[in-house]
Each structure stands twice: as C-alpha cells, then as structure tokens.
C-alpha cells in the first residue's frame, strides 16, 4: 500500500491466534478530523448566532416596535409589511423601589379596621403613621366583615397589597402575617385593645409604646378616628397623605373597571357625581325618616335596635333634620341641584348603594334630570358579577368615579364624602359642593310653605355656598373638641398647600356655570 494514501494498515499475530489489525495515524486522517471540527464549530456558531438574532428581534419588537417593522414575516415568507399590524406600545419600566428603612422594631402592630370602605381607608393611613412613629412592624390590616354590609373582602381583594408594602418600605416595615411564634396555635396571646379616639403623638409615645416592651404584639381591635386631626408633626401628616394618595392603590380589576366607567361618562360629556347617601344603613343609624312611610320608619327603627354598637336608640327625626344631621332625601337633592343652576341636560352619576325605597324614591330626580346613570346601567351585568355582594369593592368603583367627576355633590358629609373631597383638593381643588344641610332644609321648608319664591330660594342657596366649593382654605381647629373641627382627610392642608397661599376668598359662580349648563373644570 502506498504510504501517501490517507490510511495505512499493519497486521500482526497476537500469539493466541487472534489477528490484530492496527490503523496507522497518517497526515491525511489528521486533516480530515480538523475539517470535521471546523465544520462542527461553524454549524454550532450559526445556530447560536441565529438564536441570538431571534431573541434580539423579539426584545426589539417589545421595546421599539417600529425599529424592526421592515423585517419579513418568517412564518408566511412574505416581504410585505401588513398595514394592520398593531404595534405594542412601549411599557415603561416600573419605578425603582425606595430603599428599605432599617430600624430596630419595637414589636408588631396588628389592626382590625371597622366600618365601611372609606372609614377603614382613613384608619389604615393612621395605623401606618402610628407604626412609623413607634418604630413598629405593621401586619397588613384586617378589614371589617361583621358590620352592616357583611362584606367578606380581605385587604388584598380591594387594595394592591404588594404595592402597599413596597411603596412604604422606606418608612415602615409591613408583613402579611405575624411570625409563627406569635400565633395563637403556639399559645401566644397578643394584647387586645382599642386606642383612645383622637389621640395625639404624646399618647402613643407615652402610653402605647411601653406596652410593646412587655407584650411584643398589640392588636388594635378598633381603628376609627384613633389619631388626632391636628397637633401632629408635619412629617407624620405627610405620611398619612402618602399612604392615602399613593400607597392605597386599588387592585388591577377594580382600577380597570373604574377607569372604564370614567371613560364611558367622559365620552358623553362633563358629569356631576351625586353621592346620594339615602341608604338603609345611614337612615337607620341617623334615625332620619323624613319622607318615609310609617312602615318604613318602623323598619328602620328595628334595624337600629338590632345592632348593639348603634348606641343612640330613641331619635326624633324632625329635630335631627332641622339640625342638619340627616342626609338629603332624593326629592330635596333635586330641588337643591335645580336651585344651584344645573339644567335638565346635566349628566348625573349616582354614587351610592341601593337607595332606600328603590326606584320610586328616584322618580322626582329622574323626571327633572333624565340623564341619570349608575354603574349598574353603564356596565354589563357580567362585568359587575365579581363585585356583587362585596359592598366595599362596589364602593371603590363609586369612589374612583367621584374623584374623577367634574363636580362632586355629597348629600351627607360621611366618610366617603370627606375622603373624596380631600382627594379632589389634592388633585388641584376640583369642585366639591359642600352642602350646608342645616341652612338648606330651612330654605326648603320656607319655599315649600310659600314663604319665599323660587328665585329667592335659588339666590339664597347659591349665596350660602359661595365659599363651600372645595377651594383652598385653612383647616378649622377647635381646641378640646376634635369631633367638631375639620376632618384631616377632608382637607389635609399640610400635604398640598402653602399656608401663605391658602385663602378663604369665595369662588365666583360664573366660571362654573354658564348658560345654566355644567362645564368641565380644570
């Protein structure tokens, strides 16, 4: 065999009769193996390069859709760019989380909120502030499930719990649950107590903080109005606002449906949100039966006696109404809107639960304002199905619409009215008509008994509300009477207003109403 051939063979006898063939490693074989290695490396490199290119195109389409719009479709082989391709808008990266605040925790604060959605919302803001003041670790609050509404919703069913925890991490350490060593399963019993209402910074530092040294975990089983309106350091007041306006974000499903409601309303022009608090629980609690039948008044009284925490039982309805302590009836609200100058073309969104007396009590309002709408009439029943029997989630939708409305009119100054008012101030002092019910029922009675004419009635209603439009003003402070002073969340001045620029100057009616029609406000 020629030694120049690519292979050379030699043979020998192994001695046990086995003929062994040996292949000699010649230069040609080395060349062939080198070529195979080069070919293999090229194939692998090509695969790697194409894989990287595909990934690059995919990422580029996500962040800059137009950058790769000239590439052909690899599936159908077409070189044409379709005119119907929907570009995916660039999604901005989420803002970086604030750095966590490092501190030695003095214990765990567990809270059970009581009341409706907005009462609990304010309480959550207060409890975060207390935890910050005392250097505590806050457990995600429990929501009321035993009140009149019997809403089974948990915190995470209404609020974005991840956002709540992360957005406040530079102020307070928040955990979803207590560590196991503090659970009742292991025999641990936290101290349960309601803090004193309208309490100051001094109360929590001197009376509550020492209790954590002994008990490590304290459970506040009532949280409504447990922090004073005034006399709180500015940094804590601003934290209350930060929780309210930024950290307490509704869940994506509530946000999506609330935004859809607002969009539908805005497509039909400016709109007024009327918070008509003429609902069974409010009438029973307040003892207000004006406009009700005898049977309805008896039903409301039985309901009031059925709940032990509604302490005031015997109530004279007419006296409370004259004191301005009753929500306006739908009929009274109709008269006031007319007197304020809203014409029949005004789009009105009713922000409330079930009106007591149902649709028959809305007859006068609908006859005067045919463009009345509610969430139940604007949305498909299937869209609201997931929120049925969850009053707090339904209230969250009304809250979003009320905050976004051009003008907000509450018929009663309850918790929702106050918190919506504060939000609207925060968003640039959007128009909120704060009805002076004591003055209004007096004027209504004078007009209905013929003492004053319609024009006199309308002029008196307008003049009595010139300074009650949600414009900048100082929060009223009444020493030793916190229940009578202005509520912090209705006018959190420290959070958005330079006190030197907050004036009590009246707002003129002309920029708001022109030709007796509702106009958008800035």
Among positive and negative, which fits the CA dihedral 220, 222, 224, 227? negative
Tell me the residue length of the chain. 522
Q: Tens digit of pLDDT for each residue in 237-272?
A: 999 999 999 999 999 999 999 999 999 999 999 999
Helix, strand, coil percentages in the chain from 3-state DSSP, rounded to 5 = 45, 10, 45
- Regarding predicted confidence, which is higher, 149 or 64? 149
Q: Do residue 425 and residue 349 come from a single domain?
A: yes
Q: What is the pLDDT of residue 91?
A: 64
Residue 503: CB atoms within 10 Å: 10
| Cα distance between residue 208 and residue 189, in whole Å | 17
Mean pLDDT of 144-171: 92
- Rank 148-162, 291-305, 416-430, 488-502 by mean pLDDT and report only the highest: 416-430
Answer for the pair 196, 223: CB distance below 8 angstroms, yes or no: no
Q: Do residue 184 and residue 281 come from a single domain?
A: no
Contacts of 497 (CB under 8 A, 6+ apart): 472
Q: Do residue 341 and residue 483 come from a single domain?
A: yes
pLDDT at 455 over 60: yes
Q: What is the pLDDT of residue 502?
A: 58
Q: Do residue 349 and residue 426 come from a single domain?
A: yes
pLDDT-derived band at 359, boundaries 50, 70, 90? confident
Which tokens belong to 32?
């062939």
In-domain check, residue 366: yes
Answer for the pair 239, 128: CB distance below 8 angstroms, yes or no: yes
Q: Tens digit of pLDDT for each residue in 275-333?
A: 999 999 899 888 999 989 999 999 998 888 887 766 667 888 999 999 999 999 999 99
* Tally of domains in the chain: 2
Alpha-carbon torsion, ordered 283, 436, 477, 312, to 10 deg? -20
Report angle CA 377, 382, 385 to the nearest 5 degrees.
Answer: 95
Which tokens belong to 73?
């479709």
In-domain check, residue 402: yes
Q: Tens digit of pLDDT for each residue in 212-236?
A: 999 999 999 999 999 999 999 999 9
Contacts of 468 (CB under 8 A, 6+ apart): 433, 434, 435, 436
Could you tell me the CA-to-CA distances from 483 to 228, 237, 279, 314 in Å, in that order?
10, 18, 24, 22
Q: Do residue 400 and residue 297 come from a single domain?
A: yes
| Cα distance between residue 395 and residue 380, in whole Å | 17
| Cα distance between residue 298 and residue 356, in whole Å | 14
Q: Do residue 126 and residue 145 come from a single domain?
A: yes
The pTM score is: 0.79
Range(s) of the domain holding residue 193: 108-247
- Listed residues 218, 247, 276: the one ending a domain: 247
In-domain check, residue 102: no
Phi, psi of 327 (to 5 degrees): -65, 150
Q: Do residue 291 and residue 241 come from a single domain?
A: no
Q: Do residue 242 and residue 283 come from a single domain?
A: no
| Cα distance between residue 246 and residue 492, in whole Å | 14
Q: Do residue 348 and residue 448 come from a single domain?
A: yes
Q: Do residue 231 and residue 367 come from a single domain?
A: no
Mean pLDDT of 421-440: 96
Q: What is the pLDDT of residue 312?
A: 66
- Listed residues 216, 247, 278: the one ending a domain: 247
Q: What is the pLDDT of residue 33?
A: 55
In-domain check, residue 16: no
- Regarding predicted confidence, which is higher, 357 or 394? 394
pLDDT > 70 in the chain, percent: 78
In-domain check, residue 235: yes
Which tokens belong to 94?
């989420």
- Listed residues 195, 218, 247: the one ending a domain: 247
pLDDT > 90 in the chain, percent: 63
Closest CA to 406 of 220, 273, 252: 273
Q: Tens digit of pLDDT for each residue in 383-425?
A: 999 888 899 999 999 999 999 999 999 999 999 999 999 999 9
In-domain check, residue 273: yes
In-domain check, residue 259: yes
Q: Do residue 359 and residue 237 come from a single domain?
A: no
**SS3 of residue 391 by DSSP:** helix
Q: What is the pLDDT of residue 36?
A: 64
Mean pLDDT of 90-95: 72
In-domain check, residue 220: yes
Q: Do residue 147 and residue 180 come from a single domain?
A: yes
> Of the given ranges (74-83, 180-189, 464-473), which has the lowest mean pLDDT?
74-83
Residue 344: CB atoms within 10 Å: 11
Answer for the pair 257, 317: CB distance below 8 angstroms, yes or no: no
Answer for the pair 170, 160: CB distance below 8 angstroms, yes or no: no
């Amino acid at each position: 065999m020629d030694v120049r051939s690519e292979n050379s063979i030699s043979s020998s006898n192994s001695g046990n009769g086995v003929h062994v063939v040996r292949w000699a490693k010649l230069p040609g074989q080395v060349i062939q193996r080198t070529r195979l290695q080069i070919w293999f490396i090229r194939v692998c490199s090509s695969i790697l390069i194409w894989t990287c290119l595909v990934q690059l195109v995919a990422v580029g389409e996500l962040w800059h859709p137009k950058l790769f719009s000239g590439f052909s479709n690899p599936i159908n082989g077409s070189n044409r760019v379709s005119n119907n391709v929907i570009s995916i808008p660039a999604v901005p990266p989420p803002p970086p989380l604030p750095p966590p605040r490092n501190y030695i925790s003095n214990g765990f604060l567990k809270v059970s909120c009581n009341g409706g959605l907005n009462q609990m919302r304010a309480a959550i803001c207060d409890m975060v502030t207390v935890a910050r003041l005392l250097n505590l670790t806050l457990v995600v609050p429990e929501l009321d499930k035993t009140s009149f509404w019997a809403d089974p919703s948990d915190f995470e069913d209404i609020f974005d719990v991840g956002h709540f925890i992360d957005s406040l991490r530079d102020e307070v350490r928040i955990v979803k649950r207590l560590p196991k060593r503090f659970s009742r399963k292991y025999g641990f019993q936290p101290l349960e107590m309601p803090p004193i209402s309208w309490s100051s910074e001094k109360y929590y530092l001197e009376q509550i903080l020492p209790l954590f040294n002994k008990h490590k975990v304290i459970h506040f089983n009532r949280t409504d109005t447990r922090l004073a309106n005034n006399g709180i350091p500015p940094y804590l007041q601003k934290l209350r606002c930060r929780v309210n306006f930024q950290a307490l974000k509704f869940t994506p499903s509530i946000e999506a449906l609330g935004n859809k409601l607002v969009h539908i309303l805005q497509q039909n022009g400016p709109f007024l949100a009327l918070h008509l608090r003429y609902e069974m629980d409010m009438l029973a609690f307040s003892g207000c039966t004006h406009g009700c039948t005898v049977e309805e008044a008896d039903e409301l009284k039985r309901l009031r006696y059925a709940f032990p925490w509604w302490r005031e039982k015997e109530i004279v309805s007419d006296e409370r109404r004259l004191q301005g302590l009753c929500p306006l009836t739908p009929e009274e609200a109709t008269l006031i809107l007319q007197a304020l100058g809203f014409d029949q073309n005004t789009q009105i969104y009713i922000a409330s639960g079930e009106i007591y007396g149902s649709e028959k009590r809305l007859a006068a309002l609908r006859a005067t304002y045919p463009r009345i709408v509610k969430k139940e009439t604007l949305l498909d029943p299937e869209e609201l199905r997931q929120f049925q029997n969850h009053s707090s989630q339904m209230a969250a939708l009304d809250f979003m619409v009320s905050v976004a409305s051009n003008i907000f009119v509450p018929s009663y100054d309850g918790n929702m009215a106050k918190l919506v008012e504060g939000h609207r101030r925060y968003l640039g002092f959007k128009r909120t008509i704060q009805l002076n019910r004591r003055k209004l029922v007096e004027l209504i009675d004078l007009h209905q008994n013929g003492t004053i004419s319609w024009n006199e009635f309308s002029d008196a209603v307008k003049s009595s509300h010139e300074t009650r439009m949600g414009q900048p003003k100082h929060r009223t402070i009444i020493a030793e009477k916190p229940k009578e002073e202005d509520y912090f969340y209705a006018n959190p001045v420290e959070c958005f207003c330079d006190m030197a620029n907050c004036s009590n100057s009246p707002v003129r009616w002309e920029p708001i109403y022109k030709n007796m029609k509702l106009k958008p406000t800035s």
